[in-house]
Structures are given as C-alpha cells and as structure tokens.
C-alpha cells in the first residue's frame, strides 16, 4: 500500500524497468542517468552494485529531495572471460546469443535506492539462473535481424513471446527483465514510501 507521497525517481531509460516499477501503483518520474558505467574485470555482483550506485547518485545530485532508484543488469556464462551487457551492434548480439544458446547462465541486477531526505542508501543484488533453448544458426540470425536484442543485457528479452528463447527460469522473472521487484519492495518499505 502506498504511504505518504514523496518524489520517487527511476534513474533509468529502460522501458522495461519503467513498466515494472508501475506495479507498485506509485507516481514516479524517470530521470536518465548520465553516469559512465564501469565495465571492468570484477565479479558480476560487484559490477552491477557499483553501476547501480553510480546511476542513482548521478541522478540524486540533480535533486533536492525524494527517493531515487538506480539499477544495472548483466548476464554471465560459465567460463566466459567477462559479463555480457548490452550488445554494441548486430554482430555483437549474434555472438552473445551463440554463447547463450543451449546453456544455463546467470542474470545479475544491482539495485541502489537513495533516500535523499533521510540520507540513507540501500544496495542489493538479485541473481537468477536462466536456461536458453538450443537455437539453430538460422534461428539466431533471424532473431538478430528483428533487432529484438537491442538495448538488452545478453542480447535477449525473457518476456519476448514472439521468439520464445528461454526453456527455464530459476528465480525472479522481474530480475531477468531488469528490476527485481522483491528487492525494490524491500527498499521502498525501508524508505517508508510503501507500507
């Protein structure tokens, strides 16, 4: 249940995160962060935690009060040398889909919530195991041509019903989409925005 009204800001341009945050029935606005995301060889948890904080803090510096939510999502594959973020182009998307095809991978989302009025911060990371079905080369090429991969970590969208790439999900579906609602609810309860 919504509590007293304070400005709530989502520090993300992602329409998927926007749609998920609407589930709380709270008014909020979107302010896109200009933070430069880190892409270093650190653990996935460290990476998404760091980037979520960067995004939330960058937006918080433009505000006087309220609550800011920042998030960052990456995909990891066993034995891969680095995390998979958003593809740079179609060739990069094809590389990612080939890497994920027929394999189980993990999706990490870091969430940072800043309460500017109380000067408090909450940061958590959600992890979900996802298994992509084995795709033929032709299926992968067709999928990449649709540009459905654009602006998505790991070059796919779990909620994409047209392409049905996923066989199994162990954990939070909303985490794979980009905003783990259980984590966000816990943070918003801590701020007092929801009861």
* Gap between the Cα atoms of 167 and 102, Å rounded: 9
Residue 95: phi and psi, rounded to 5, are -60, -45
Rounded Cα gap, residues 110 and 71, in angstroms: 5
**Which residue among 72, 92, 117, 137 is the active-site one?**
72
Q: Helix, strand, coil: what percent of the chain each, to 5?
A: 35, 25, 40
With CA atoms as reference, report the closest residue to 68 among 25, 106, 140, 116: 116
3-state secondary structure of 76: strand
Annotated active-site residue 72? The verdict is yes
Angle at the Cα of 183 from the Cα atoms of 78 and 79, rounded to 5 degrees: 5
Q: Strand pairing partners for 194?
A: 2
With 0-12 CB in 10 A as exposed, 13-18 as middle and 19+ as buried, what is 21? buried
On the 0-12 / 13-18 / 19+ scale of CB atoms within 10 A, 160 is middle
Active-site residue set? 72
């Amino acid at each position: 249940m919504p509590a007293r009204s304070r400005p709530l800001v989502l520090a993300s341009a992602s329409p998927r995160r926007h749609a998920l945050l609407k589930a709380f029935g709270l008014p909020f606005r979107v302010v896109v962060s200009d933070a430069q995301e880190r892409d270093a060889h650190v653990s996935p948890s460290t990476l998404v935690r760091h980037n979520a904080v960067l995004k939330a803090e960058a937006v918080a510096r433009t505000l006087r009060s309220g609550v800011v939510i920042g998030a960052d999502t990456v995909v990891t594959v066993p034995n891969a040398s680095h995390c998979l973020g958003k593809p740079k182009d179609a060739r990069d998307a094809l590389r990612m889909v080939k890497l994920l095809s027929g394999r189980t991978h993990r999706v990490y989302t870091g969430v940072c919530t800043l309460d500017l009025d109380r000067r408090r911060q909450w940061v958590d990371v959600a992890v979900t195991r996802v298994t992509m079905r084995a795709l033929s080369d032709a299926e992968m090429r067709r999928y990449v041509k649709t540009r459905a991969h654009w602006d998505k970590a790991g070059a796919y969208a779990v909620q994409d019903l047209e392409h049905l790439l996923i066989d199994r999900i162990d954990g939070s579906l909303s985490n794979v989409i980009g905003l783990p609602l259980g984590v966000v609810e816990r943070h918003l309860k801590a701020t007092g925005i929801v009861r």
